[in-house]
Amino acid sequence: MSDALVTLHDLTVAYERHPAIHHLKGSFAKGGLTAIVGPNGAGKSTLIKTIVGLLSPSQGKVELHGMKAKDAAFLPQSAAIDDTFPISVADVVLMGLWRRVGAFRAIGAKERQIAADALALVGLEGFEGRPFGSLSAGQRQRVLFARLVAADSPLILLDEPFTALDARTTLDLLRLVQGWHEEGRTVIAVLHDFDQVRRFFPETLLLAREIIAWGPTEQALSSDNLRKARAMSEAWDEDAEICAGVVA
Amino acid sequence: MTMLYDLLVGPFADFTFMKRGLVACLALALGSGPVGVFLVLRRMSLIGDTMAHSVLPGAAVGFMLAGLSLPAMGLGGFLAGITVALVSGLVTRYTPQKEDASFAAFFMISLALGVLLVSTHGSTVDLMHVLFGTILAVDDSALLLMASVATVSVVVFAIIYRPLVAECFDPAFLRSVGGRGGLVHTLFLVLVVLNMVSGFQALGTLMAVGLMMLPAVAARFWVRQVWSLAGLSVLIAFASGYAGLVLSYRFNLPSGPAIVLTAGGFYLASLLLGPRGGLLSGLSNRRHLAQ
């Protein structure tokens, strides 16, 4: 356990008193590249939002080893971002430097250089002055990945990063994720595409409100486990007040 | 030349109440411009309207206790507005109800309470004054209050600018890095209420929101950066105040509606002519596509 970066201790999170995920136990290893997959409503986003501190556990806890939740670099689902807001590409990427500059410290030449380098890395060199809203969906996602690059965090959490993207952008961004993995960063991503997971993600957590499997991707995504996950999500009673474990 | 002077400058040189009115418009424009821009960007345009109505019972209580005194009515209005904003915020947070629904519920309760208080404890003239304001009766204490609100607004905007932009654009990201999104949202609502209160002596509770929203929505047809939107809104709001005062003096019209209607004129002109999404620019684009 000594090489764990994120440990879930009997983690239960509820929305309006209905548990969305419950009794999750286990660890994400330092430097690991893990996909979180599962049926709709399985609690994937809930888990990632709880790790980053946006949701509070109803029971149990998330333990981060040697870092704070606010030092993680988080990519929300694209629907959570207001892409009509009048903001420049540079300002979006500079948000990634929040740990350095916070709400008040000045942004100087050094910070602008970091943003420019991050944009170059995602293939958007010279896009600093463009309005974010005028970009294509693929370019916008590249900008948000540049924000993650600028954040330079040991833990990167991605909530459905490749939804509705073209194949070329997806592949470029997947290479970037692999680069982070090679640099020893820990990456946890909520994903839907099993082929993508099998090709690029060595570890998988299969979730259906509780852990169905967690380990090397091929084993986690065995047809047995997938069938179990589907059955779990279909058998789920939406109106259950509280799970048996919490009552006990 | 003299005619032009008599029309555009004369009234302000000759009459103190016109001078005060103009300074009041400048103060209102400086505070309300940026507030309106962020209300529009946060898609809270109509919440501005509900907030304007919810200050009424507080203003009425202030009026009952201290008569026609802006500081007393202002304080009462501020407390009522903040209460509605905070209670609506709490309801949104702890129940499945959305913010616009809870705002609508509490502002109606507040408005009805306000009308009840004013009509049982004051005359129709008082009610008209609270609802529609009289910019030409702005006294020193009212002017001081408006200037203070404008100053506080500009300073608070400067302080919360970065987190406020992040909160509008990507609230989940801001919270993930430990930014105090809730605090920023609350401070912003305080600014909204403060500027409503500042505007109601001059324009009345019903129309204070006009000088806040119309310049902001008009500006969106011309520019597209936050700072330029705020700057242009201030300009349009002040120009509306000035032109509205001139019109009200020249044609003997009530000043509040004259000012807000002028701002409405700026909005309609922008809707038609604005290069960023205006109707004419849309037409010329279509023609371009057809060729």
**pLDDT (tens digit, 9 = 90+) per residue, A64-79?**
998 888 889 999 998 8
**Angstrom distance (rounded) from CA B247 to CA B43:** 32
Q: Which of B138 and B229 is assigned the larger pLDDT?
A: B229
3-class state of residue A13 by DSSP: strand
Q: Which of residues 52-111 of B touch A (CB under 8 A)?
A: 96
**The pLDDT value given to residue A216:** 93
Order of strands across the sheet with A4-15?
Answer: A18-29, A4-15, A59-64
Are residues A89 and A138 part of one domain? yes
Among A47-56, A194-203, B91-100, B270-279, the minimum mean pLDDT is found in B91-100
- Give the residue from B33, B191, B55 showing the smallest Cα distance to B131: B55
Q: In the structure encoding, which two tokens stand for residue B276, read together?
A: 């960023």
ipTM of this predicted structure: 0.86
Q: Which of residues 4-63 of B touch A (CB under 8 A)?
A: 41
- pLDDT at B57 exceeding the cut of 60: yes
Contact B172 A54 (CB under 8 A): yes
Contact B41 A85 (CB under 8 A): yes
**Angstrom distance (rounded) from CA B190 to CA A173:** 42
* pLDDT tens per residue, range B23-52: 999 999 999 999 999 999 988 877 778 888
Question: In this structure, what CATH number is given to the domain that contains residue B109?
Answer: 1.10.3470.10
Are residues A89 and A53 part of one domain? no
**The pLDDT value given to residue B13:** 80
- For residue A190, the one-letter residue type is V
A159 is a domain residue: no
Mean pLDDT, residues B270-288: 82
A12 is a domain residue: yes
- pLDDT at A154 exceeding the cut of 70: yes
Residues above pLDDT 70, as percent of chain B: 93
**The pLDDT value given to residue A1:** 42
Are residues A146 and A82 part of one domain? yes
User: CB distance from B165 to chain A under 8 Å?
Assistant: yes
- pLDDT at B242 exceeding the cut of 90: yes
Residues above pLDDT 70, as percent of chain A: 93
* pLDDT tens per residue, range A83-103: 889 999 999 999 999 888 888
Are residues A122 and A64 part of one domain? no
Are residues A41 and A87 part of one domain? no
- Domain range spanning residue A121? 73-152
Burial B250-271 (b: 16+ CB within 10 A, else e): eeeeebbbbbbbbbeebbeebb
Number of structural domains (chain A) is 2
Number of structural domains (chain B) is 1
**CB-nearest partner of A95 from B173, B224, B226:** B173
pLDDT band at B290 (very low <50, low <70, confident <90, very high): low
Are residues A222 and A198 part of one domain? yes
The β-bridge relationship of strands A4-15 and A18-29 is antiparallel
B-chain CB neighbours of A68 within 8 Å are 178
**The pLDDT value given to residue B264:** 96
**The pLDDT value given to residue B232:** 96
**The pLDDT value given to residue B130:** 66
Q: Which of B16 and B125 is assigned the larger pLDDT?
A: B16
Mean pLDDT, residues A151-157: 93
* Burial category of B47 from C-beta neighbours within 10 Å (exposed 0-12, middle 13-18, buried 19 and up): buried
**The pLDDT value given to residue B127:** 64
**What average pLDDT does the structure give for chain B?**
85
pLDDT band at B67 (very low <50, low <70, confident <90, very high): confident
Instruction: Round to the nearest angstrom and report the end-to-end CA distance of chain B.
Output: 48
Are residues A198 and A244 part of one domain? yes
Are residues A116 and A53 part of one domain? no
pLDDT band at A247 (very low <50, low <70, confident <90, very high): very low
Q: Are A191 and A185 in contact (CB under 8 A)?
A: no
A165 is a domain residue: no
* pLDDT tens per residue, range A18-41: 778 888 999 999 999 999 998 888
**The pLDDT value given to residue A2:** 47
B-chain CB neighbours of A85 within 8 Å are 41, 165, 168-169
Contact A103 B160 (CB under 8 A): yes
- Find the residue in B nearest to A151 (Cα): B177
Mean pLDDT, residues B143-158: 92
Question: In this structure, what CATH number is given to the domain that contains residue A217?
Answer: 3.40.50.300
* pLDDT tens per residue, range A186-196: 999 999 888 89
Give alpha helix (H) positions in B122-139. Answer: 124-132
- Domain range spanning residue B134? 2-290
- Give the residue from A55, A157, A188, A69 showing the smallest Cα distance to B178: A69
**β-sheet bridge partners, residue A33:** A187
Interface of A with B (CB under 8 A): 16, 49, 52-54, 68-70, 72, 74, 76, 80-82, 85-88, 91-92, 95, 98-99, 103-104, 131, 147
Mean pLDDT, residues B68-88: 84
- pLDDT at A240 exceeding the cut of 80: no
A176 is a domain residue: no
Residues above pLDDT 90, as percent of chain B: 29
**The pLDDT value given to residue A242:** 53
Contacts of B262 (CB under 8 A, 6+ apart): B239, B240, B243, B244, B247
**The pLDDT value given to residue B183:** 87
Taking the CA atoms of residue B232, residue B238, residue B243 and residue B247 in that order, the dihedral angle to the nearest 10 degrees is 140
- To the nearest whole angstrom, how far is the Cα of A133 from the nearest Cα of chain B? 10
**The pLDDT value given to residue A202:** 94
Contact B178 A70 (CB under 8 A): yes
Contact B41 A16 (CB under 8 A): no
* pLDDT tens per residue, range B107-143: 888 888 888 887 787 666 666 666 677 777 778 888 8
A131 is a domain residue: yes
